[in-house]
Amino acid sequence: MSTVKHFLRTVVGRAYPRLVGVWREKSWLIFDVLFPLLQVSAYVYIYRAIGAPPEFSGFAILGGATIAYWMNVLWSMASQLYWEKETGNLQLYLLAPTSRMAILLGMALGGLTATTVRAAGVILVGALLFRVPLQVSHGALFLGVFLLTLVALYGLGMLLSSVFLLWGREAWHLSNLFMEPVYLLAGFYFPVRALGLGLALAASVIPITLGLDALRQLLYPQLMENFRVLPVEAEMGVLAGLAVLFVFLARGGLRFFENLARREGRLTLRGQ
């Protein structure tokens, strides 16, 4: 069997359980849409109470939808290998004659389906419920920015999966630690430029920060003229660079813990 074919079959094999799981319990889809919408609604009502332009409600809805992808990366990617280690499945992944990158990519693609359904539901219900204008003038560019953001974001998730595994029991605490600060630094519910240009540029190491900023520029170009971090084209270039960097580092991280397991018989830095 060719290497490429083997890689693709591994991806499909790991994605399949998550794809099936999405439709096996359909009631979960309702809760996955309604519960995040409650938090989005709070920000929409805040913007309306202070008399902000209706586009700001669109900022909150779009940010609330993209939170689903960050949560998927944090809990279904970054922490996944640690959880597999705790349940006794990690050794099977290490012994399997396939690429660990393919295993993580399959997990990402499988989880991406449920996440996209949740995000689309939040945007659709939120836009209809609050009558928020969502009009994309450059559809191809919007899709390109979205896909670049996902590639960079899931590349970061693959990298964090190695880091969390090497840190051992602290993986759970790291997941909680990274949750709330990213809500602020990525500007999920407001234009991140409000934090100041310097902090916004520093926060751009998180792919979803520039991804959200670029998507909002394409949705509301006139309003975002005063709130953008960088032009859309520049942000796409940075996202492409981050995608390459994170995938490269993730590949190195996975090789590191594989070699650590073979050489020393452990998978953490302190033998946890």
pLDDT digits (tens, 9 = 90+) for 53-80: 888 888 899 888 888 888 888 777 777 7
pTM of the predicted protein model: 0.84
Is 14 a member of any domain? Answer: no
Instruction: Give the total residue count for the chain.
Output: 272
Domain that holds residue 190: 24-264
Place of tokens 């840190």: 167
Number of structural domains in the chain: 1
pLDDT in tens, the chain (272 residues): 577 887 888 888 878 777 777 677 667 777 777 777 888 888 999 999 998 888 888 889 988 888 888 888 877 777 777 777 777 777 777 777 777 778 878 887 877 877 888 888 888 888 888 888 777 778 789 899 999 999 899 888 888 877 777 776 666 677 777 788 888 888 899 899 988 889 989 988 999 999 999 999 998 888 888 889 989 999 999 999 999 999 888 888 777 776 766 666 555 555 44
| C-alpha separations of 92 from 88, 98, 100, 190 in Å | 8, 11, 11, 43
Is 19 a member of any domain? Answer: no
**Using DSSP, how many helices (H) and how many strands (E) does the chain show?**
12, 0
Is 85 a member of any domain? Answer: yes
In DSSP notation, 151-207 reads HHHHHHHHHHHHHHHHHGGGHHHHHHHHHHHHHHHTTSSS-GGGG-HHHHHHGGGSH
Is 271 a member of any domain? Answer: no
In whole angstroms, give the CA distance from residue 272 to residue 267.
Answer: 8
Is 9 a member of any domain? Answer: no
In whole angstroms, give the CA distance from residue 205 to residue 3.
Answer: 32
In whole angstroms, give the CA distance from residue 181 to residue 85.
Answer: 27
pLDDT digits (tens, 9 = 90+) for 241-260: 999 999 888 888 777 776 76
Is 90 a member of any domain? Answer: yes
In DSSP notation, 224-262 reads HTTT-SS-HHHHHHHHHHHHHHHHHHHHHHHHHHHHHHH
The angle that helices 232-264 and 139-167 make with each other, rounded to 10 degrees, is 30
In whole angstroms, give the CA distance from residue 110 to residue 25.
Answer: 15
Is 7 a member of any domain? Answer: no
C-alpha angle 210/103/90, rounded to 5°? 115
Is 63 a member of any domain? Answer: yes
Nearest Cα neighbor of 160 from 87, 84, 104 is 104
